[in-house]
Amino acid sequence: MRGIFALLSGLLFGFGLLISGMANPAKVLGFLDLAGAWDPSLALVMAGAIAFAFLPMQWIQRRGTTLRGEQAQLPTSRQIDRRLVIGSLLFGAGWGVAGFCPGPALVAASALIPQALLMVAAMLLGMWLFAQYDRRVKA
Give the pLDDT confidence of 79-107 residue by residue, as tens digits.
999 989 998 998 888 888 888 888 888 88
Contact 116, 105 (CB under 8 A): yes
**Domain segments of the chain as ranges:** 2-39+75-138
Region of 70 please: left (phi>0), alpha (psi -120 to 50) or beta. Answer: beta
Confidence of residue 132 (pLDDT cuts 50, 70, 90): very high
pLDDT at 39 over 80: yes
Q: Which residues pair with 71 in a beta bridge?
A: 65
Q: 73: helix, coil or strand?
A: coil
Residues 121 and 110: their CA atoms lie apart, in Å, by: 13
**Cβ neighbour number for residue 30 with a 10 Å cutoff:** 18
Higher pLDDT pick, 124 / 24: 124
Confidence of residue 16 (pLDDT cuts 50, 70, 90): confident
Asked if residue 5 has pLDDT above 90, the reply is no
35: helix, strand or coil: coil
pLDDT at 2 over 80: no
Statement: residue 1 has pLDDT above 80: no
Report the predicted TM-score, pTM, of the whole model to 2 decimal places.
Answer: 0.70
Which helix (H) or strand (E) segment holds residue 136: the answer is: helix 114-138
Rounded-to-integer distance, Cα 7 and Cα 2, Å: 9
Report the SS3 class of residue 8.
helix
Task: Round to whole Å and give the CA distance between 72 and 68.
Answer: 10
